[in-house]
Structure 1
């Protein structure tokens, strides 16, 4: 399913909505043709689209009602990793593909409309995870949203396309001993898949690929002012967030976004939907995987709950877990793959002792926040977060560890907002930490699949993380109170000038996360590694791979959607070469 190129964004949006409804079987062919022609589409193109959409809807309805006992590949999850794997396998082979998605449709305004993405948080499209209360964040329980919807996190989060730093991928290559994870090799994948709309950079950016990526279009004036303000304090300005800026010490830029014709682009829209008219793929929604079926150490399929009934489907070749950094380790542990002591605690027989399952939990910390009241209120634009910078809290670091984002509305925690009585007409520079040293853990609550996994986030438990974020707050306040920002400032709302002890207490009250849960099934070669460089589960497990953010050994520097797509692309390349 592809958006229609048009100079009339409103008409393009109407056609995209009609096409989405057609693919989902919500309208018939005649209704689509009537609406598409009224929106300005030519009759031949409307007829061709109607045929494709009708074929997809009929095929998926038939496939769902006639579920097979066995598929070649079962992909668990349709997010930024799973959609890539399933879409490429379906398009490039005749293998039978089953995609199991616990959530429902992504064809809703909260997913499609850029400014509405925050309304997904704690909705039916969010799993609703929270970390355990912790002293390191003043006994608060931080929310950990994860997408329970077609598209996963790419459907409910902010659509920022942040590739990661050069050093991230070179570290992944060193951890796995696999040069295919190196920056040079990953850069080739990025250039292959991107359709970059910004300043040309043939050495680093791709043109004509499947993924539309552009700098935020017509950004709010406050976003461009922040670029000047950051430059004034010594942070260089770049035209591209993901080019040379992320090969060195960092800089400030307008964010790369996945928004086209005024609509958010999740990953299924570019990888999965075009394949749905093919008979070899079935996208099954409302299907919550409970555990893996195993014969010895060989994974033979999955058990899942749908419409109140537990069903079992077999996989002739492989199961690919793309359920996210909380549910992927949960499924492994419920299947007897994990730390033996943890499994025994819940009466689960250990099939494979892999002590790293659920360990090494990481997420970026986002502080809510450094807030100013507008002198004259401005409406937010695009995704309401258009300007960002990457910088080092300590010049001796090899990689930027800070990523504050300017947010064009007040961004606070449940503590700091009420305490400072934040006016609605405010804006924020939210300090962010993207190279955390704190490490948490995901464990089981019980052997009951209906019970959500437990997450010890360990946020700010490492003193270096506190030190880095205190520097981040200082830097954000310096930028927000600079001359370049004065036209937008009536007053600083919070935190103001505080002593170090008071600022540390503020930080612990203000800390939240970027919603970038990762690293709980890391790839590598040490005893805590869960998958190898080819993304196959270790410990002699057969027929099982993982392709989501859980395999990162260390969380990428910046928003995690783009690196997770790389993980999905690598998984597809590996499977296609093995078939």
Structure 2
């Protein structure tokens, strides 16, 4: 299991209990499927980043009644999900996650990776590490070209970005003039802020960027549409220093709407074709249960079923319903009803690598986490003032970097355009213990590097016809040689970044398996031993032009060869953006909500 390893969990758990009453808000949701109506206008499967947007927007007029079904529990009172700095520790709470693992990855020395997804209200927006980016203008313009649909160009999507997020002041209300640009932000329910707690490396990162020049240029606001450069990180942290998720942003304010029912702790097992004389099957009956041996329930969507179960669960539900590759379904004993070979295929994700460096200071969070009293004090400071170490995520600075043109001699540049990076650098003021246990002594900084335009492709396939058996997940990391080469260049770029004069005497040495690697071949080998996922799975039910034989959904996100069925989540991405994916999901969902209204209003 991969999660951030905080010391002294007993003391932290005790502190959580002290604060729980202050954070607990009971949501008006059902846990008893017997209370669910036999019919709704819309049934939304999955209360994650996309599903909650859809639930909010489709109930706001009062014209439609909507059922939202979530496999996991409520997000309320789950303190590691609320406290920004503790976000990684939520992955140690089994009932709040889909505890997926990949199959062994041949290009990663046959390692099996944890592949965690959120299983609670808010989905992965309630458990992610909070970094927020919307993607570059070029990313969305490429979507428009790939789908042959201008609606997906940035010019036409901008209004939906502005509708989804807003920039709020950090908890300490400091002047953010030189950290972000409010003109690039909107007035939506998702709150985004810059860090409130300054670390030792924040100013050093910006100084190094300005010293080294064009390759690491300073970018005032990563949401400007041009993502390239080093920026102050923006995170989904509200002005009260608590996580802003799709649950807090889109659901909390609508629990009382009489035309919305929310059913939690209940898993959709398949969609059933409706009895119809039409040549195009309609999948508007939803089957669900609370465990593999429990009672099976059904409800019907008069207008549409909207799958927002994510890039892993959405293709699983489709295949269990008879929608997918005909030969593969037949082999599993499932009657194929709609032959869509791309269901579950083309899985894309950003491979992540952790680079560790020893530093000559005691002012990193390593010092706090080794002292139980300091840890509890930091947690209490957050609870009383909203400030301090725990008010921010692990990341105060990020960089989206492009490789020099000489690297692409004889190669095809896979990026969407000059406003998109080839790799990301994520700066962390301490030892980010995701795979490697934190050392007992010393102080460190971590720089994560991620390949942003992976050419490697994977898949999600059925392991069983039992919907409660996890599917087979194969991200296919590093199966494309260019991804390996790009990661090698990213590691070398990080090392170059630390040659800036501001780091003299501060960064003392490299550390760990990657730190010991010097040549390109050694770096590539170390990367195969160390790469993990950044948890950005996408494109397993990809969008394609209306009449294209490839793909799974139309540009309106309707499942091809069916009626009454739409998909709204990361699975529809025609290609993964060079960005953290929660921002693009909100944009897609806001756009999709208007697609639905345009059809039914």
Deviation for aligned residue 1:22: 4.4
Deviation for aligned residue 1:72: 0.9
Which residue of structure 2 aligns with residue 319 of structure 1?
305
| TM-score, normalised by the number of residues in structure 1 | 0.86
Which residue of structure 2 aligns with residue 72 of structure 1?
41
Which is worse superposed, 500-509 or 320-329? Answer: 500-509
Deviation for aligned residue 1:269: 1.1
Tell me the alpha carbon deviations over residues 398-456 of structure 1, each in whole angstroms, 9 at most, x when there is no partner: 33111110122323564xx36x9685632201111111110111100011112101011
In structure 2, what is the Cα distance between the partners aligned to 1:486 and 1:287?
Answer: 55
| TM-score, normalised by the number of residues in structure 2 | 0.83
Aligned pairs for 1:116-195 (under 5 A) are 116-124=86-94, 125-195=96-166
Counterparts in 2 of 1:299 and 1:435: CA distance versus 1, 3 Å: same
**Please, which of 258, 261, 275 is the counterpart of residue 279 of structure 1?**
258
Deviation for aligned residue 1:523: 0.3
In structure 1, what is the Cα distance between the partners aligned to 2:142 and 2:357?
Answer: 35
Q: CA RMSD of the aligned region, Å? A: 2.4
Which is worse superposed, 511-520 or 215-224? Answer: 215-224
8 Å contact 1:370–1:476 — kept in the other structure? no
Deviation for aligned residue 1:188: 2.0
**Please, which of 251, 270, 281 is the counterpart of residue 249 of structure 2?**
270
Which residue of structure 1 aligns with residue 8 of structure 2?
none
Q: Are 1:535 and 2:557 an aligned pair? A: yes
Q: Are 1:291 and 2:270 an aligned pair? A: yes
Tell me the alpha carbon deviations over residues 452-486 of structure 1, each in whole angstroms, 9 at most, x when there is no partner: 01011110110100110000000112223532234
- Secondary structure at the aligned position of 1:245 is classed as coil
In structure 2, what is the Cα distance between the partners aligned to 1:408 and 1:303?
Answer: 47
What count of residue pairs does the alignment treat as equivalent?
A: 524
8 Å contact 2:30–2:264 — kept in the other structure? no
Counterparts in 2 of 1:119 and 1:426: CA distance versus 1, 3 Å: same
Aligned pairs for 1:49-68 (under 5 A) are 57=28, 60=29, 66-68=35-37
8 Å contact 2:46–2:309 — kept in the other structure? yes
Which residue of structure 1 aligns with residue 374 of structure 2?
none
Counterparts in 2 of 1:370 and 1:482: CA distance versus 1, 3 Å: farther
Which residue of structure 2 aligns with residue 93 of structure 1?
62
Deviation for aligned residue 1:391: 0.8
Which is worse superposed, 394-403 or 466-475? Answer: 394-403
8 Å contact 1:224–1:387 — kept in the other structure? no
Counterparts in 2 of 1:424 and 1:61: CA distance versus 1, 3 Å: farther
8 Å contact 2:463–2:470 — kept in the other structure? yes
8 Å contact 1:69–1:313 — kept in the other structure? yes
Counterparts in 2 of 1:338 and 1:329: CA distance versus 1, 3 Å: same
Which residue of structure 2 aligns with residue 36 of structure 1?
none
Deviation for aligned residue 1:203: 5.7
Q: Which has the higher contact order (CA 8 A, sep 6+)?
A: 2
Tell me the alpha carbon deviations over residues 506-555 of structure 1, each in whole angstroms, 9 at most, x when there is no partner: 0111101111111100001233310011010012x010000000100111
Which residue of structure 1 aligns with residue 4 of structure 2?
none
Counterparts in 2 of 1:387 and 1:546: CA distance versus 1, 3 Å: same
Q: Are 1:479 and 2:457 an aligned pair? A: no
Which residue of structure 2 aligns with residue 303 of structure 1?
287
Q: Are 1:105 and 2:74 an aligned pair? A: yes
In structure 2, what is the Cα distance between the partners aligned to 1:574 and 1:19?
Answer: 40
**Please, which of 552, 557, 560 is the counterpart of residue 581 of structure 2?**
560
Deviation for aligned residue 1:328: 0.3
- Secondary structure at the aligned position of 1:519 is classed as coil
Unaligned runs of 5+ in 1: 1-12, 25-56
Which residue of structure 2 aligns with residue 438 of structure 1?
456
8 Å contact 1:375–1:489 — kept in the other structure? no
- Secondary structure at the aligned position of 1:92 is classed as coil
In structure 1, what is the Cα distance between the partners aligned to 2:56 and 2:360?
Answer: 45
